[in-house]
């Protein structure tokens, strides 16, 4: 420093020189510069009361040989004795010291305490990260993408060079220490920054895709993550303060919630595995075990959708494996026995002010059916699969499942709505918690019904290829079993027999032969369809769809 004032020292091997003009007391703070003219590579400066024992640190950064301190400010109470301010140096070096003197602190004092204005600081830049904005754009099982924007401000009093670079890091331990981080990249763009000038960066650094940070999910754990921004990341600038370069921001990565695929009518059928004998169970019972069902095993209409989601990182749940073996699964096919009514229509026809909330779908009633695996309606199957997803989620994340996404097709959309519009939605009953639906995607869902449902109700199965190939056969097989006497009844919540079909049509007190005759009639077949597949009748359009059109032969 210019105009230095040499002070008497103790311990000549550690001389200390203070800059006289650069040493002032202002607002109870000390401003000074010092130079290490001794032979130690590591000298600290301390305040003292004039004795070696009464020291306290004021500048503890290593002061290398022939190195100057920057201006240093201390908010500590000053130790002034007899209008003198005392300093001491402390030797902390492993280097061999050839000096014959003992390693006692060098003691110095200065009497120039009469200045009342701070000195002009050295002209140096000082970069700080002024702000950081992070937006999570995509969090799927195979990639995590987020946008980052940050602003660097030069709060120093000198212009920077243009060769400095800012750095973007992901912290492993939440600290600002770069030793525990993974570098995400450094933008190539930077510029000279005048004092008070700032520059805003976007995350357009390698290995980023476009302007977004893209990581494999294994590289960034679920929950809160610390993203670090360093202003002068490569340390090419000589700044007045090298300790304020970093700024941390939090990125919350929540677990990827499960997706359900709820198929349409005839989009579920029995598992073709012959060992399960699922077809026999299908013929003799309505409301069969959901573990015996597969999502469209014949036409395989949903295979492309499932494969697409799997290719994007989702893990398909396997009902043939245990919950532990399915850990991490978040893609659930939700087949159901579509021969059952979608939900209760009790009171629908009588109440002209029906509010759209299905009856018999209170949280308690729904939970009881799910827990007892009693399948009265198609929506009960959705409840079953949601519980399987909840068990897997609890196993994987050790917390309750709060939200799911649903992709529904055709009647599957009505099944999904029956749950969403019920009193059970999002409720907890005992040890059963029903999640809420975050995103509901409906593809071809007949929310106002469909005219083509009129045809099968009247035993006409030619309106749709699915009706011809599948539904007609599904309905005809059990009908013929009853007609031939191979089955006495079709089991289920409401058993179906030749007698029950006649009684449902108001044909009471008929003999067995008369019941069979009615069963084989057109009216008997239509009544059987109403009982066996009430879903079809529930799909009738809620708007006018017929017209009297003259038929020309």
Report yes or no: 150 and 229 within 8 Å, Cβ to Cβ: yes
What local confidence, expressed as pLDDT, does residue 136 receive? 80
pLDDT confidence band for 73 (50 / 70 / 90)? very low
The residue ranges of DSSP E strands in 49-101, in sequence order, are: 55-59, 72-74, 80-81, 84-91
pLDDT in the model for residue 206? 39
DSSP state, residue 534: H
pLDDT digits over 462-492, tens only?
A: 766 666 666 677 788 899 999 999 999 999 9
Judge whether residue 94 has pLDDT over 70. no
Q: Is residue 34 part of a domain?
A: yes
- Token representation of residue 224: 């809160």
Is 436 in the same domain as 468?
Answer: no
Note whether 474 and 530 are same-domain residues.
Answer: yes
Q: What mean pLDDT do residues 151-169 have?
A: 89
In a domain, 122, yes or no: no
The more confidently predicted of residues 499 and 188 is: 499
pLDDT over 60 at 62, yes or no: no
131 and 59 in one domain? no
Q: Tell me how many domains the chain contains.
A: 4
Angle of CA points 477, 478, 481, to nearest 5°:
95
CA distance 268 to 534: 16
Residues 265-284: tens digit of each pLDDT: 889 999 888 888 898 999 99
What integer is the mean pLDDT of 150-164?
90
Q: Residue 48 above 70 pLDDT?
A: no
- The tens digit of pLDDT for each residue in 384-442 reads 999 999 999 999 888 999 999 999 999 999 999 999 999 999 999 988 999 999 999 99
**CATH number of residue 17's parent domain:** 2.60.40
Helix spans in 28-135 (H): none
Is residue 66 within 8 A of residue 36, CB to CB? The reply is: yes
Q: Which of 253, 277, 306 is the last residue of a domain?
A: 253
pLDDT tens sequence across 96-118? 444 433 344 444 444 444 444 44
Say whether both 296 and 425 belong to one domain. yes
Q: Length of the chain, please?
A: 553
Name 71's Cβ contacts closer than 8 Å, sequence gap at least 6. Answer: 22, 31, 32, 33, 119, 121, 122, 240
Main-chain dihedrals φ then ψ at residue 51, nearest 5 degrees:
-120, 160
Domain that includes residue 490, residue range: 451-538
- Residue 531: the pLDDT is 93
Which two structure tokens, joined as six digits, stand for 378? 């198609």
CB atoms within 10 A of CB 6: 12
Cβ–Cβ contacts within 10 Å for residue 404, how many?
23
* Domain match, 505 and 464 both: yes
pLDDT of residue 123: 78
Pairing of strands 403-409, 428-429: unpaired
**Residue 156 and residue 95 share a domain:** no
How confident is residue 553, by pLDDT bands cut at 50, 70 and 90?
low
d(CA 103, CA 14): 8
Q: What is the pLDDT of residue 105?
A: 44
Mark which of 223, 253, 283 sits at the end of a domain.
253
What is the pLDDT at residue 108? 46
Question: Is the pLDDT assigned to residue 36 strictly greater than 50?
Answer: yes
pLDDT for the residue 42: 53
Instruction: Judge whether residue 370 has pLDDT over 50.
Output: yes
Task: Look at the block and give the residue holding tokens 């001491």.
Answer: 88
CATH code, domain with 215: 2.60.40.10
In a domain, 115, yes or no: no
pTM for the model stands at 0.64
Which residues of 271-402 form beta strands (DSSP E)?
Answer: 293-295, 331-333
406 within a domain of the structure (yes/no): yes
Q: What's residue 203's pLDDT?
A: 66
Condensed to tens digits (0 to 9), the pLDDT of residues 189-202 reads: 678 999 999 998 87
Q: Judge contact between 143 and 215, C-beta under 8 A.
A: yes
Nearby residues of 126 by Cβ (< 8 Å), 6 or more positions away: 154, 155, 156, 239, 240, 241, 244
* Rounded Cα–Cα distance for residues 385 and 124 (Å): 65
Question: How would residue 254 be classed by pLDDT, with cut points 50, 70 and 90?
Answer: confident
Q: Scanning the structure block, which residue is given the tokens 């245990």?
A: 322
| Segment (H or E) for 428 | strand 428-429
Does the pLDDT of residue 328 top 70, yes or no?
A: yes
Q: Residue 30: pLDDT band by 50, 70, 90 thresholds? A: low
Distance of alpha carbon 67 from alpha carbon 17, whole angstroms: 11
Q: Is 481 helix (H, G, I), strand (E, B) or coil?
A: helix
347 within domain boundaries: yes
Whether 538 has a pLDDT exceeding 80, the answer reads yes
278 and 402 share one domain: yes
CA distance 261 to 256: 16
How far apart (Å, rounded) are the C-alpha atoms in residues 49 and 78? 10
């Amino acid at each position: 420093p210019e105009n230095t004032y040499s002070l008497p020292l103790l311990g000549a091997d550690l001389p200390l020189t203070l800059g006289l003009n650069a040493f002032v007391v202002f607002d109870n703070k000390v401003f000074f510069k010092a130079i290490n003219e001794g032979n130690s590579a590591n000298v600290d400066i301390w305040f003292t009361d004039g004795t070696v024992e009464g020291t306290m640190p004021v500048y503890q950064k290593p002061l290398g040989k022939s190195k100057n301190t920057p201006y240093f400010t201390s908010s500590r109470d000053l130790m002034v004795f007899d209008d003198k301010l005392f300093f001491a140096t402390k030797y902390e070096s492993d280097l061999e010291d050839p000096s014959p003197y003992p390693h006692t602190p060098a003691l110095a004092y200065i009497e120039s305490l009469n200045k009342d204005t701070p000195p002009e600081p050295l002209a140096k830049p000082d970069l700080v990260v002024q702000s950081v904005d992070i937006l999570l754009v995509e969090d799927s099982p195979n990639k995590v993408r987020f946008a980052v924007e940050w602003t660097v401000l030069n709060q120093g009093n000198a212009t920077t060079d243009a060769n400095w670079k800012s750095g973007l890091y992901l912290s492993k331990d939440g600290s600002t220490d770069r030793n525990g981080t993974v570098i995400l990249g450094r933008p190539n763009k930077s510029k000279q920054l005048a004092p008070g000038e700032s520059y805003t960066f976007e995350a357009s650094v390698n290995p980023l895709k476009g302007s977004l940070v893209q990581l494999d999910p294994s590289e960034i754990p679920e929950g809160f993550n610390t993203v670090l921004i360093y202003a002068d990341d490569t340390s090419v600038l000589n700044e007045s303060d090298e300790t304020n370069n970093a700024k941390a921001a939090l990125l919350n990565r929540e677990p990827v919630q499960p997706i359900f695929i709820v198929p349409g009518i005839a989009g579920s059928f029995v598992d073709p595995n012959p060992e399960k004998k699922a077809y026999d169970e299908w013929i003799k019972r309505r409301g069969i075990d959901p573990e015996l069902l597969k999502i469209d095993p014949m036409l395989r209409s949903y295979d492309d959708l499932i494969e697409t989601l799997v290719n994007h990182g989702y893990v398909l749940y396997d009902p043939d494996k245990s919950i532990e073996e399915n850990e991490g699964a978040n893609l659930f096919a939700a087949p159901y026995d579509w021969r059952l009514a979608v939900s209760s229509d009790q009171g629908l026809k009588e109440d002209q002010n029906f509010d759209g909330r299905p009856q018999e779908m209170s949280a308690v009633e729904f939970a009881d059916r799910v827990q007892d695996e009693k399948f009265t309606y198609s929506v009960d199957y959705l409840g079953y699969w949601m519980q399987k997803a909840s068990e897997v989620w609890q196993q994987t994340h050790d917390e309750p499942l709060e939200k799911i996404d649903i992709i529904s097709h055709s009647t599957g959309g009505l099944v999904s709505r029956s749950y969403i519009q019920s009193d059970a939605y999002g409720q907890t009953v005992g040890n059963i918690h029903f999640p809420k639906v975050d995103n509901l995607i409906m593809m071809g869902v007949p929310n106002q019904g469909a005219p083509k449902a009129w045809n099968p109700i009247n035993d006409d199965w030619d309106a749709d290829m699915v009706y011809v190939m599948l539904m007609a056969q599904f309905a005809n097989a059990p009908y013929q079993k009853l007609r031939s006497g191979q089955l006495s009844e079709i089991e289920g919540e409401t058993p179906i027999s030749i007698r029950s079909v006649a009684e449902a049509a108001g044909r009471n007190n008929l003999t067995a032969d008369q019941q069979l005759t009615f069963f084989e009639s057109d009216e008997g077949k239509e009544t059987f369809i109403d009982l066996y597949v009430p879903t079809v009748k529930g799909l009738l359009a809620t708007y006018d769809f017929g017209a009297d059109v003259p038929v020309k032969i």
